[in-house]
Amino acid sequence: MNDMKTPTRVDKSVLSVTTTLRAHQREWWSDLQQRVENGEQFVLAGASVPHEIFEAMDIPYVTDVWYSGIVAAKRQSGYYSELLERKGYHAGLDRYSSLAYAVALDESDTPKPWGGLPRPALVVTMGAVGGSEAIARHYGVPHINLERPIAAHPSVAWWEQAHYAWEDLEESHRIDVLASQYEALIETCERVFDRKLDRDRLRGILDVVNEQESCFEDVRRVLQTAPKLPVRLAEVMSQVMGIQWHRGTQWALEQARTFRDEVRQRAEDELWICPNEKLRLMYVGRGLWQQLEFLSEFEESHGVVFARSNYLSIACDAYPHYGMRRPVRTLAARYATFNDYLHYPPWGGAWAAWEARTHRLDGAVQLDSGDHGVKFILRALESEGIPVLNLPTDPVDSRAWDGEKMRALMVQFIETRLAKEK
């Protein structure tokens, strides 16, 4: 329990939208808890699930990894990881999406992050990751696990086709089988929540999502082209994901517009987060949600900034899908490969290398979390002349964090490999 002490943190936020995001999240969460207390039901959903269907049906939903991120940010992940082990779930199991389950299992008086997770009415996941099925069993509620068909004929530069030519990219039979699973999900939602899906509304929500993602594309363009970095990556990651979990709402669209405008303005005003910027790094793989501030620790000492993460870039490249004749199919096309683009070959490496070029990067850091495909990504980056550092830690489990060791590894990487390349 020693990791549950309130940590001392230096707030390096430069955007006003960071404050409005935090306020909105607290307000939304408190509202959700109140609604659930009043008898309303909600869905606990995985990250790669079509949240837009819930939005179109006015069904509240919470994303499991968002809640895991909250647990990690509160530095309670170590406590909850140990609790899972005490309950019989061995230490090698993934914690990224499972901390919500751990919180549900905790019968002690320990204060739960943000007051704890209320009982959902339905659990929906893609690929049965982590404790998703276990949490449904724990609460005795239905669980739907969507199965993603595998792409047998991968197209390397997927990001060039994803927005418009998705029928060719994802193949019709794969889109069809996922769409038929979504139809089954819709039927379940209609039964459990006693309401009907309005497909015109769903179409409208997808249009809003496309517009929101285009704001993110504008932000990415600024980060790629501005002479120096106008905003810290930790702030970008928090902002992007905070908005993504509410995508399709008017709030999310307005927040994304304001975010874009603020970043643009800072670049126009030449307000750089590290005026002494010398080296630009990218961040590959899952976020270091338990230690986001770590990314900015090398600005003053070494002029190092982090300019790119998966989170903004996947929002720009994988989310927007145009062509809404059959909106459920359009959504299915988005998720037919999705996560696999992030790390599996050939996609993960080709995408990372392209991103490194367009962001003018000098190096990369990735969490050595054993993600599939990592070695091919490293190979692709290094063949582009981008050195990569593996940080041996976990995205959310604070027990795996050794700050001194990580700092030493970073300094050695910067002073030896990056300086040499430069």
Partner 1 sequence: MASASYRPSRAPLVVNAGPTIPLEPFWAAGCRVEVVEGIPGGSTEAGDRYMEDGLEVTVRSVFDQFVRGTWDEADLIVLDRSYRDVYYYLKELVRLGLAPGLPKLHLFDLLLTRDLPVQRYNAGQVEMLVEAVEYASDRRLERAELQNALVRSDEVRAQYRQLNEQRRRGVILGSEALRHIAVIRAADPSYQVLELQALNASLEERVPVDRPRLLLVTGDTSDVLALHHAAEKAGANIVAEDYRWGSRTAVAAHIEDADPVAAIAATAHRDGNGPELTPFSARIRWALEAGAEQIDGAVLHVSPNDRVLGWYLPELCAALKELGVPVLNLVEDAQSSESGIALHDAIRTWLGPAMMPGTRLKEVS
The structure tokens 């145009």 sit at 322
**Per-residue x/- mask for partner 1, residues 288 to 327, rule CB under 8 A?**
----------------------------------------
What's at 41, amino acid-wise?
Q
Token couple for 238: 């928090």
- Select the residue interacting with partner 1 from 38, 107, 140, 173 (CB under 8 A): 173
99 binds partner 1 (CB under 8 A): no
CB of 94 to partner 1, least distance (A): 6
- Select the residue interacting with partner 1 from 7, 23, 128, 402 (CB under 8 A): 128
177 binds partner 1 (CB under 8 A): yes
145 binds partner 1 (CB under 8 A): yes
Judged by beta carbon, residue 106 or residue 133, the one nearer partner 1 is: 133
Q: Are 313 and 354 in contact (CB under 8 A)?
A: no
- Select the residue interacting with partner 1 from 12, 20, 28, 94 (CB under 8 A): 94
- Select the residue interacting with partner 1 from 345, 384, 407, 417 (CB under 8 A): 345
Q: Kindly determine how many residues on this chain lie close enough to bind partner 1 according to the rule CB under 8 A.
A: 42
167 binds partner 1 (CB under 8 A): no
376 binds partner 1 (CB under 8 A): yes
88 binds partner 1 (CB under 8 A): yes
Footprint on this chain of partner 1 (rule: CB under 8 A): 87-90, 92-94, 128, 130-131, 133-134, 137, 143-147, 149-150, 152, 154, 156, 173, 176-177, 180-181, 183-184, 340, 344-346, 349, 370-376
